[in-house]
A = this chain, B = another copy of it.
Amino acid sequence: MQSSTPAGRAGRPRSAAADTAILAATRAALVDLGWSKLTLQDVATRAGVAKTTLYRRWVGKNELVVDAVAELFDELRLPDRGSLAADIEGVVLQFAAILARPEAKSGLMAVVAESTRDAALRERIRTSIVERQKRLVLEGRARAQARGELPAEPDPVEAARTADLIFDVVAGAVVHRTLVSAEAADGEWVRSFARVLLWGLASLPHQPGLPQDHE
């Protein structure tokens, strides 16, 4: 999380249970109140902890919420569904399911907004949330290349750039659909999105009622 019994080890150690309780309380408060009405005193009370304990472990509301929201993305997995298209649809649906939860909705964009003026927060978001998600893109591409669905990348620099692009397209689309357009990224939407991602715009209008074998 953030500490780890720094150097001197005398004295009473920090309660490990408190961390868990605090992060859970933060998510609960996000659900009930949303980002802007959430207060650290309220989180502390919900967690059965003093406000001081919160400040001893996190520098502020932003950092706390990043950690609380980051845990939501721990459950993201990339099970092998047999094809690149199916893998994409699977992971996008998972991502959409997480973003549909109010604690993610409320918290995620708020800390991103804050991070535009706070480099440390930006870095924390990158390591706690973004990188964790980006690994799935790399993993999915490797799997597709192993299957022969995608050609190998000769240039590693270009490969990284491409992975970043794909990540922004995938994550951005789901986030925008869910938060800005404020509509559900359901199965139908995900299938259409995966088609565009794989084959481009031209592929779109051709098979509106195409029979689907998954979901």
- Interface set of A (CB-CB < 8 Å, partner B): 34-36, 84, 102, 105-110, 112-117, 122, 125-126, 130, 150-151, 153-155, 158-159, 161-162, 164-169, 171-177, 179-183, 189, 192-193, 196-206, 208
Contacts and interface: CB of A to CB of B under 8 A. Distances in A.
Contact of A110 (B108, B113, B158, B204): B113
Contact of A175 (B154, B162, B164, B175): B175
Contact of A176 (B107, B117, B161, B175): B175
B205 A153 contact: yes
Sorted nearest first, the 10 A-B pairs with minimum C-beta distance are A172-B176, A172-B172, A109-B113, A200-B200, A110-B113, A199-B200, A34-B117, A105-B116, A172-B173, A168-B177
A189 B106 CA distance: 29
Which secondary structure dominates chain A's binding surface? helix
B198 A201 contact: yes
Contacts of A102: 116-117
A205 B150 CA distance: 9
Contacts of A109: 109-110, 112-113, 116
Nearest to A159: B205
Given A109-B109, A112-B113, A165-B204, 16 more contacts: A34-B116, A36-B113, A115-B182, A126-B182, A158-B208, A162-B205, A164-B181, A165-B192, A169-B172, A169-B176, A172-B177, A172-B180, A175-B175, A175-B176, A198-B201, A199-B200
